[in-house]
Structure 1
Amino acid sequence: MTKKCTITGKKRNNGYSISHSHVRTKKIQQINLQNKKIWSLTYKKWITMKISTKAIKNLTNNIKF
């Protein structure tokens, strides 16, 4: 299974690791995925999803009490 957020669709990022002598080697920046239980209104049950921490923050900010 790929490391991909099920809500936002975010995935890994390619970048460079730069040494002191400015030699660049490729590296992969992984996404910060967390397993989270979310209540589904359509299925009326808890669903476990792999979502990014930014998506978790957006979900908690959009809840109105």
Structure 2
Amino acid sequence: MSKICSISGKKRNNAYAISHSHVRTKKIQHVNLQTTKIWSKENNRWIKVKVSTKAMKTLLKNN
């Protein structure tokens, strides 16, 4: 399974981990994905999707 939000399309970010001596090493910042069930009005049933917590918050706000 890919680590991409199925609603917002968010994916990982490349960044640097900087030590005290300012040595930079590459790291990956992953999206906070959660598996949740969302009601589909078209199919009239629950659908399991991987959604970022930011998208979850937006869904709850709009409902």
Question: Which TM-score bucket, shorter chain as reference?
Answer: over 0.9
Aligned equivalent of 1:62: 62
1:2-53 Cα deviation digits (max 9, x unpaired): 1000000000000000000000000000100001100000100000000000
SS state at 1:54 partner: helix
Partner in structure 2 of residue 47 of structure 1: 47
* Number of equivalences: 63
Identity %: 63
- Normalised TM-score (structure 1): 0.95
Q: RMSD across aligned C-alpha pairs, in angstroms?
A: 0.4
Q: Which runs of 5+ in 2 are unaligned?
A: none
Counterpart amino acid of residue 11 in structure 2: K
Q: Matched residue of 2:55: which SS?
A: helix
Equivalence for 1:21? 21
What residue ranges of structure 1 are gaps of 5+ in the alignment?
Answer: none
2:30 match: 30
